[in-house]
């Protein structure tokens, strides 16, 4: 079965969107396999987004992810990677469709509320980065 690493970013936690976001994934029908509130160390945020190292916004992105606690989740189900990205919406919240999480709750790419894995391989890579084995069911 496919799994996705979904993370509510610090702005989403600070703005009280945790329940709303979990509700959307539950209603869609995916299974929650792991969940924790976590203050990420800088090295972990850097590793998570290592593919973007050369991008001009990378230092700010890392600062953003460590600026407060995040909610780390693993959701499982057929097609969960692509489906989660549809629920989440486009990277730039101003371009994200209403009805998507970013479309409903954001206005800046640099504070876009939530992360979702972009491929099964990256999903498994990210789950291994953010969770220890015993933390998942």
Number of Cβ within a 10 Å radius of residue 33: 18
Q: Is 30 annotated as a binding residue?
A: no
Which stretch in 13-21, 25-33, 69-77, 114-122 sits in contact with ligand ATP by CB under 6 A?
114-122
3-class SS of residue 4: strand
What binding mask, one character per residue, do residues 81-110 give for Mg ion by CB under 5 A, x or -?
------------------------------
3-class SS of residue 112: coil
**Torsion on CA atoms 104, 105, 110, 113, rounded to nearest 10:** -110
| Catalytic (active site) residue 115 | yes
Number of residues that bind Mg ion (CB under 5 A): 1
Q: Site residues (CB under 6 A) for ligand ATP?
A: 52, 57, 61, 91, 109-110, 112, 115-116, 118
């Amino acid at each position: 079965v496919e799994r996705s690493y979904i993370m509510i970013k610090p702005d989403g936690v600070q703005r009280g969107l945790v329940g709303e976001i979990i509700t959307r994934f539950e209603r869609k029908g995916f299974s929650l396999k792991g969940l924790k509130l976590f203050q990420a160390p800088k090295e972990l945020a850097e590793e998570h987004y290592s593919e973007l190292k050369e991008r001009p916004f990378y230092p700010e992105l890392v600062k953003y992810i460590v600026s407060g606690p995040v909610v780390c989740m693993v959701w499982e189900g057929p097609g969960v990677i692509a489906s989660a990205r549809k629920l989440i919406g486009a990277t730039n919240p101003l371009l994200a469709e209403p009805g998507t999480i970013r479309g409903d709750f954001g206005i800046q790419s640099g504070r876009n509320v939530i992360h979702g894995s972009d491929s099964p391989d990256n999903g498994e890579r990210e789950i291994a980065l953010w969770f220890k084995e015993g933390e998942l069911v």
